[in-house]
Amino acid sequence: MKRATSRRQPVPANKSTAAPGEGSEVSQNRDERLTIRRSSIDGMGCFSRVPFPARKKFGEFIGERISAREARARVARGGRISICEIDRRWSIDASRSGSPTAFVNHSCTPNAYARIARGRISFYSLRRIEVGEEITLDYRPSLHPERRCRCGSIRCRGLMG
C-alpha cells in the first residue's frame, strides 16, 4: 500500500462535488474507539481509546475515492494530504474525512498493518494495542520514500521508504 502524507491537522468532514465514479465517500463510519491527539512522531496522530487484541481488525481508512491520476495531482499540489493507494487505478483520500484513521503515523516498528480488499483499506493490530497507544503503520512503500522518518524507534531506518 503506497501512502502519501503531510503534516496533518484535524479538519471537518466535507461532502464531495467530484464527478460520478470519482470523489465518492467510502464510508461515513466514525469509530469512537479511536481519537486524534498530538503525536510525538509527526503533528497529530491516531490513538486507541480501548485496548485492541492482537491480529484483530479495528478500523478502516475512510475518505474520498479518487483516481490514481487525481491522487498524483493532489500530492503534487502539496498541503495537507492523507492518501492511500488501493490499486493502480484508485486511491482513497482521507484528508477531509475527519476520521482518526487519516492521522495514523508511520513507524519502522508499527503496531498495526493495513489490508486492502474489495476497494477498502482495513487496519489490523499486529500485537495487543493498549489504551492511549498511538496507532502506527509502516508506510513502506510510500509515495514519498525520501521523506525523513521521525518514529524514534530503536530500529528506525531513517527514511519512510
- 42: domain CATH number? 2.170.270.10
3-state SS assignment for residue 62: coil
- Whether 105 is covered by a domain: the verdict is yes
Using one digit for the tens of pLDDT, what is the confidence trace for 5-44?
554 444 333 333 333 344 444 444 467 999 999 999 989 9
- How many structural domains does the chain have? 1
Half-sphere exposure for 36 (CA within 13 Å, toward CB) = 18
- Whether 66 is covered by a domain: the verdict is yes
- Whether 160 is covered by a domain: the verdict is no
Using one digit for the tens of pLDDT, what is the confidence trace for 73-103?
998 887 778 899 999 999 999 988 889 999 9
Domain hosting 131: range is 3-137
Is the pTM for the entire model greater than 0.85?
A: no
pLDDT score for 4: 56
